[in-house]
Copies of this chain bind each other. A is one copy, B any other.
């Protein structure tokens, strides 16, 4: 077990994950974060030297959250690695049926605001994205072997591609204030992966013709 953190620190990280995901990093003030966490500024700067440091901690917490959420999801019980991959993608697609604020990515939001001005926060966001993406690599490679699929691509690039598509889907959902386009783009991703592995492309429920 990880050593128990002090309540204020935990609460601040939780507040950052929640508020930054809604408003963005720069639009969220230290006072906002303290208010949301029910904590004073003194506590804030006792635990974090700067606001950016809380962002970095939030990115780390986000990574743990993702590992927990996707590492213990039901589809992980599938014996065939390809079923685990397709289960993962279906799971992520189905998340897009909920409210926008509940499926978007904290670090995808933060990295756009920090990449040019806050190298340490940018690096924490990269670590979070890459760490999650790389959890898919072993299954992709195993699925390739098991199903005899070669193709001119690497498992790592496909793993990162899934993350890119999802990040892009979040942007479409935010832009339209509607997750429909995000669901459609997730369906395209699923169709792509099925084609790569020579599976029949099944009728998806998410798209409407007309």
Residues of chain A at the chain B interface (Cβ within 8 Å): 22-24, 26-27, 100-101, 107-109, 111-113, 115-117, 119, 122, 125-126, 129-130, 151-154, 157-158, 160-161, 163-169, 171-172, 174-177, 181-182, 184-185, 187-188, 191-192, 195, 201, 203-204, 207-210
Contacts and interface: CB of A to CB of B under 8 A. Distances in A.
B126 A176 contact: yes
Nearest to A173: B115
A167 to B, nearest CB: 4
Contact of A165 (B165, B177, B208): B165
Given A26-B113, A27-B117, A165-B165, A184 B160 contact: yes
A195 B172 CA distance: 24
Contacts of A182: 164
Given A164-B168, A164-B181, A165-B168, A154 B23 contact: no
Contact of A153 (B117, B153, B187): B187
B164 A126 contact: no
Number of copies: 2
Contacts of A176: 126, 130
A57 to B, nearest CB: 17
Nearest to A118: B27
A116 B209 contact: no
Given A109-B112, A176-B126, A185 B171 contact: no
A184 B157 contact: yes
B129 A172 contact: yes
Contact of A24 (B113, B126, B208): B113
B154 A207 contact: yes
A131 to B, nearest CB: 11
